[in-house]
Amino acid sequence: MNASDFACLADLLKRRAGFHLAPTKTHLATSRLAPVARRYGFRKTDELLAELRDAPEEMLRAVVEAMMVSESSFFRDKTSFDHFRGVILPSLLSARAASRRLRIWCAAAANGQEAYSLAMILDEAKIAKDWRIELIATDISTAAIARATEGRYLQYEVQRGLPAQTLVRYFAQDGDQWRISERIRRMVTFRSFNLLDSYGWLGEVDVIYCRNVLLYFEPLAKRACLQGFAQVLAPDGYLALGAAETMEGASTAFAPADISVRGIYRKARHTARPIALAS
C-alpha cells in the first residue's frame, strides 16, 4: 500500500465519517478492505485503493462502512448499564411522570447489542404497557443495521456479557445462532445514519448512548457531534460516552453527571457555539 493511496483512504474516511486513520494502520486497512476488494473484482486491496479517486459512490460507501468499528457486546461496560438501571431510568421516570414518554437514542448501535441491552432493562422495569417508549438505534453501516434488525447472534456473541438467566429469558436458540425475542426486537427502531449529517429528523431525546465512537473521530468531527448531541438532548437528559472518552477540548455543553461513574454527562448551564464541518 503506497503512501498516496493510503492518504486518499484516510481523507475519504475523514470527509465521509469523521474517522481518523493513523498512518500506522496500514495492516488494519488491508485486512478490513480485503472482502470489499474481492466483491468488486480486485485481487488485492492495493488495487482497490488505487481506484478510490474515481470510484463510484457505491464502492466508496462500501469502503467507508468496512473501515468503521462495529465491535460491541451485550451489557458492555457493566457499570454504565447499572447506572442506567439504577439512576438514569428512575430519574427520568420521575421527571416524565406526566407525559409518560421516554425517548432513547443509541447513536452508534453496531450490530444491536447495546440497544437490545437497554431494551431488556426497560422490559424488566415493566413500564411498556403504561409508557410510550421510543428506542432508536442508528449506525453508519447498513450491513450492521440489517444484522441488528434481524436480532440473530452467534454463541460467542451471547456469551460475552450476557448473564445465563437473561439469555434464557430473552433469546431462543435457532441452530447455531440465538435470536432475541420478538417483544424485545419490536422495542427498537433501527436505521442507517451518519453522525456527520443533520440531526433534525430525530427530535428531542432523553438519553443518548454513543460509547467508544468519538475516540476514533477527528477533533473537528468530534466537536460537531457533541454540539449535535447538545441540540437534541432534553435539558435534563443524559449522555453516555465510553469510560475512556472525555469532553476536554471538544465541548463545554456537558458536565459529568456523577464523578463516581466515568462517561455519564448531563447538559452544562451553557452550550458551545455550533461547529461547521469542513467540506
Grid cell locating 213: 465512537
What's the per-residue H, E or C state across 166-193? HHHHHEEEECCEEEECHHHHHCEEEEEC
pLDDT beneath 70, residues of the chain: 269-279
What is the model's pLDDT at position 275?
42
The pLDDT value given to residue 30 = 92
Per-residue confidence (pLDDT) for residue 271, from 0 to 100:
38
- Shortest CA distance to 214 belongs to which of 110, 75, 114, 108? 108
Q: How far apart are CA 35 and CA 207, in angstroms?
A: 36
Q: What is the pLDDT of residue 246?
A: 83
Specify the pTM. Answer: 0.89
Q: What is the pLDDT of residue 269?
A: 67
Q: Quick one: pLDDT at residue 272? A: 40
The pLDDT tens digits for 81-128 are: 999 999 999 999 999 999 999 999 999 999 999 999 999 999 999 998
C-alpha count within 13 angstroms, C-beta hemisphere, residue 63: 30
